[in-house]
Amino acid sequence: MNVNKKLPYEAPVADAFQLSAAPLNICIQFSGEAGFEDFEEGEAL
């Protein structure tokens, strides 16, 4: 087994934007593909 081989990875994409009048509460959402089996018990999703 070659431990030096890197796994394929696609970097996340971010779009920059500016709000003319920012509201007091801003919600930022990220999307991606993951299943519950990708996280250990007690780890935040």
Cα(43)–Cα(22) distance, integer angstroms = 32
Q: Which long-range CB contacts under 8 A does 8-11 form with residues at least 24 apart?
A: none
- What span, in angstroms and rounded, lies between the C-alpha atoms of 2 and 41? 29
Q: What is the mean pLDDT of residues 7-29?
A: 74
What's the whole-number mean pLDDT along residues 1-21?
A: 73
Is the CB of residue 9 less than 8 Å from the CB of residue 29? Answer: no
- Flag whether pLDDT at 45 surpasses 60: no
Is the overall model pTM greater than 0.85, yes or no?
no
